[in-house]
Structure 1
């Protein structure tokens, strides 16, 4: 099995609130009432800036994000053409209850916890020279499945696949006065790609086996984890 691993950064999609433009058909009165309702909604208090993160149940999992159908090549191999079908879309997320903590700060802390971010700064805001890490950006798009064409040297029943190493964990953020925010964060570390031959066993029980069971004939060597 030929495989490559490439670095990528955490991502997520920002939510969009579809509110503006819906009140025009209802008259000014309704529009003012809606605005008043929004303005009277209770504000979420911000957490302190000198709190401490504690992490638990941090787990890394390899997730298959895309896979091709079987591509047959004869003697001498050739270039695979895909395309890959998306089977999973990784997204960064930070969900919490309690005083609001910056999602970027949460991911900065998680990055330090797992060794993804090497920094002596206590917080992202305190990083020297305003240094930033893409790992902390929850708005970066998920990795593309268009990783370029792959060439194999031998005949085979080939399947291309792509995936990520996802990381998730529970956190608490405690302020000196005892106020605590609790939540869960999820993102991914690396973007991976590979090729397997349905007529050969795969050497792991992770993404390659998932891809084989998705595209290879049931009972073929690649679908069995020896």
Structure 2
């Protein structure tokens, strides 16, 4: 099963919609003045803290796949549309006071090399320097409507995916308090085509084969 993939970079790195559930140390309250003072004090206490990242993972995640279709001698262009199997969204979870989700992702981007900046924080760097990695309002990647072409006969499946980055973090505030959490996001669109009749080393292509190749296909994982 052949599996070929192309990586389509947009302006900067693409990011989806933030999943709610983050406690931000900069958040205010809707209570009285005492509540607001407490919130501001907490924000000041946890500002300019330090992130420590661990268990960093990078993997290709399947987002869309078509049904298999057989092309005869000389190949041709695929016709079957892809259906979505996963919607990638950034997620930031924390069990205590931490900066905003965008700041968490900025730190993750610097730690993984997705963001090149000498700034310590997103507030210091500015959105322009951070690119799209910390943009929490980017739409999820659309499944590419363009069909792919092959020059050989086979039983072909078109697929799409993203590069997913995830890690655990610990955040230490200057006042000594700490919080821990997990952050996940994605950075780049991937498109590809595979032949169910042949094997591949691509994890993304193998995931697509599990969805669309017949159980008895020579290239189906586990066959």
User: Shorter-normalised TM-score: what interval?
Assistant: 0.7 to 0.9
Change (3 A) 1:109 1:13: closer
CA contact (8 A) 2:62 2:207 kept: yes
The aligned length equals: 202
Structure 1 equivalent of residue 14 of structure 2: 9
Q: Deviations over 1:107-163 (max 9, x none)?
A: 011011111111111111111795332111222121111252211111111000111
Determine the C-alpha separation between the residues in 2 that align with 1:81 and 1:183.
Answer: 43
Q: Secondary structure at the match of 1:95?
A: strand
Determine the C-alpha separation between the residues in 1 that align with 2:199 and 2:64.
Answer: 20
Structure 1 segments unaligned to the other structure (5+ residues): 16-37
Determine the C-alpha separation between the residues in 2 that align with 1:14 and 1:96.
Answer: 12
Structure 2 equivalent of residue 180 of structure 1: 178
Determine the C-alpha separation between the residues in 1 that align with 2:83 and 2:127.
Answer: 42
Structure 1 equivalent of residue 121 of structure 2: 123
* Shift in Å, 1:97: 2.2
* Shift in Å, 1:218: 0.8
Structure 2 equivalent of residue 63 of structure 1: 61
What RMSD, in angstroms, separates the aligned Cα atoms of the two structures?
2.3
Change (3 A) 1:224 1:14: closer
CA contact (8 A) 1:53 1:109 kept: yes
Change (3 A) 1:13 1:82: farther
1:88 aligns with 2:93: no
Q: Secondary structure at the match of 1:134?
A: coil
CA contact (8 A) 1:209 1:225 kept: no
Q: Secondary structure at the match of 1:126?
A: helix
Identify which of 106, 110, 113 aligns with 1:112: 110
CA contact (8 A) 2:19 2:91 kept: no
Structure 2 equivalent of residue 134 of structure 1: 132
Determine the C-alpha separation between the residues in 2 that align with 1:129 and 1:2.
Answer: 34
Determine the C-alpha separation between the residues in 2 that align with 1:147 and 1:175.
Answer: 47
Change (3 A) 1:107 1:86: same
Identify which of 68, 72, 77 aligns with 1:74: 72
Of stretches 80-89 and 1-10 in structure 1, the one that deviates more from structure 2 is 1-10
Determine the C-alpha separation between the residues in 2 that align with 1:212 and 1:99.
Answer: 43
Determine the C-alpha separation between the residues in 2 that align with 1:114 and 1:139.
Answer: 21
